[in-house]
Structure 1
Amino acid sequence: MSWILRAAAPDDLPAIMAIEEELFPDDAWSPESMAAEVAGPHGHYLVAQAEDGEIDGYAGLLAPRGSGQGDIQTIAVVARARRRGLGRTLMAALLTEARAREASEVFLEVRADNPGARALYEQLGFEEIAVRPRYYRGGVDAVIMRRATSEERAS
């Protein structure tokens, strides 16, 4: 299975929101929030389009130029595309964009009960720096992770 990564467009919002609501039923972003993020001047949102035309994943970075920092806002991969390197590919693209925007460090938050995502982020050089207790619905903690963008470990 292969994908084309491309900039997310307003026309992609229905597919993005369908994935968002399926994968994050308790914590899904609102359509209005997602639309604002995709269209925002400081963000970089990508979709992964499969050979059959379906959107199999998306990811977003917030990194205002000159701020020195970036934040991985969201990343999602549908079940049929998991364990095939798509999450890693999306993350690598966001880290490349963060470097292009001169961000020296990138942060993200991940649910403490998501060991697969945490393992991927650790493999990519992210380190746990803090915990936000009961951040997500259902009382699940958010683990805050950080990575310097100069680290070339995105592969």
Structure 2
Amino acid sequence: MFEKFKEWFATTGSPKRPCLDFTRRVVMISGHQYIVRMADDTDIDTMVTIEERIYGKAPWSYAAFRIELQRPHDRLYLVIEDDQQVVGFIGTAVDWYHYDLHITNVGITPSYQGKGIGTYLISTTKNYARHLKLHSMSLEVRVHNFSARKLYESLGFKDHHIKRRYYLDNHEDAVDMQANLLK
């Protein structure tokens, strides 16, 4: 039976998906010019450093980011630069089966927070998800991170359910939030 399955999968296989792609662009956010582009391996150290500045200890390791960037058919990571310095990033994962774009992480250097950069990155990936004809976006956020939850709600995300003891560092619950893209 296994041999028949291997033969079937070799001839039909899973659908071939194109690599996710994003064209580098210059954008204006709150009157300031930034460059948004796809992340690559040279950005990993900076993404880890941004997480360290935000959380004290980076939740994602160099290796975790590297693995994500090696999945071009279902992962899209964008960075945003100010004067050739990466100041923020967003990571997404496409769930082709459920037609969902999941935000895996968002990080903005603390001195750049509150300037609309996170909102821009989320809105950009939301438009990208629509371009891919996906039906929804999803993310998890710490239950006590009220400022992030408020931001996500302003961008159309709604509480879906609680994931108990989701975060490994302190076992805090997460709120699973979803945005419908079919509206």
TM-score calculated relative to the size of structure 2: 0.76
The answer to whether the 8 Å contact 1:66/1:103 transfers is no
User: SS at 1:70's partner residue?
Assistant: strand
Amino acid at match of 2:36: L
The answer to whether the 8 Å contact 1:135/1:142 transfers is yes
User: SS at 2:59's partner residue?
Assistant: coil
Identify which of 79, 90, 108 aligns with 2:139.
108
**Match of residue 28 from structure 2:** none
Give the CA deviation at 1:33.
1.1
The within-5 A match list for 1:44-59 is 44-51=76-83, 53-59=84-90
**Match of residue 77 from structure 1:** 108
User: Bigger CA drift: 38-47 or 24-33?
Assistant: 24-33
Give the aligned CA root-mean-square deviation in angstroms: 1.6
Identify which of 2, 12, 18 aligns with 2:49.
18
User: SS at 1:140's partner residue?
Assistant: coil
Give the CA deviation at 1:94.
1.0
The answer to whether the 8 Å contact 2:143/2:172 transfers is yes
- The structure having more radius of gyration, on CA atoms, is 2
CA displacement 1:86-142 (0-9 Å, x = unmatched): 000010111111112221011100011211110010000100010112211213110
The answer to whether the 8 Å contact 2:36/2:79 transfers is yes
Note the residue ranges of structure 1 that are not aligned, 5 or more in a row. Answer: none
**Match of residue 92 from structure 1:** 123
User: SS at 1:134's partner residue?
Assistant: coil
In 2, the alpha carbon distance for the partners of 1:70 and 1:119 equals 20
CA displacement 1:36-86 (0-9 Å, x = unmatched): 1123121111001012x2111000111155641110111011111111100
Amino acid at match of 1:149: L
Higher relative contact order (CA 8 A, sep 6+): 1
The answer to whether the 8 Å contact 1:63/1:101 transfers is no
The answer to whether the 8 Å contact 1:61/1:70 transfers is yes
Q: State percent identity of aligned pairs.
A: 28
Question: Number of aligned pairs?
Answer: 150
Confirm or deny that 1:143 pairs with 2:175.
yes
The answer to whether the 8 Å contact 2:49/2:58 transfers is no
User: Bigger CA drift: 139-148 or 14-23?
Assistant: 14-23
User: SS at 2:166's partner residue?
Assistant: strand
The answer to whether the 8 Å contact 1:104/1:148 transfers is yes
Distance verdict in 2 for CA 1:37–1:126, change over 3 Å: same
In 2, the alpha carbon distance for the partners of 1:133 and 1:27 equals 21
Note the residue ranges of structure 2 that are not aligned, 5 or more in a row. Answer: 1-31
In 2, the alpha carbon distance for the partners of 1:11 and 1:92 equals 25
